[in-house]
Amino acid sequence: MNAPETPDDEERDALLMRLFVTHERAVLRFILGFVPALNDARDILQETAVTLWAKRTEFDPAREYLPWACGIARFKVREFWKKQPRWESFAQEDLLDLMEAQREAMRPELSEREARLRECVQKLPEDSRQVLVRYYVEGESIEEVARQQTRTVEAIYKLLQRVRRALLDCVQRLETAR
């Protein structure tokens, strides 16, 4: 039988819940650096959350939360790679280290590019921006987005293709202008 939680345990649990909610998107972005499919990344995030909760007594509040959470996510990415035939060749420790080192080296450039992308997204027409948010941020299916927009699935695919191209062109123009 488990011992009842003390007020300290409850405070720690509440703190960890707040930290997870605060850093959830950052952990998802971390995972997306290794697994480009959003649905796969969300599955890994969910597994990460379960493990974070199971290991909550191991968390030291004096340490930073995000590196701890990303460390656990890293193991979950490797587990995912090992289970997926198309990814198992990536499951080598040194490859994951190399990918992390490369991403860290590119961080300043990626931050600048992200800022340019945000600027370009703001320039999009409102309906295009809504489709992007629904599909990429909220994770709705193409079918759901099409139904909400009263368009065909093909029309949404074509819209997303045009929007992605427009965003790429915009980001590249901003890069050459600076």
Q: Which of left, alpha, beta for 8 (phi over 0: left; psi -120 to 50: alpha)?
A: alpha
* pLDDT value for 137: 78
- In angstroms, the CA 68 to CA 15 distance is 14
Domains of the chain with CATH codes = 1-91 (1.10.1740), 107-178 (1.10.10.10)
Q: What is the pLDDT of residues 104-130, one digit of tens each?
A: 777 787 778 888 999 999 999 999 999
> Could you tell me the pTM of the whole model?
0.59
- Tell me the pLDDT band of 136, cut-offs 50, 70 and 90: confident
Torsion angle defined by CA atoms of residues 158, 160, 163 and 168, in that order, rounded to the nearest 10 degrees: -110
Q: What is the pLDDT of residues 22-68, one digit of tens each?
A: 999 889 988 988 887 888 999 999 999 999 999 998 988 888 999 99
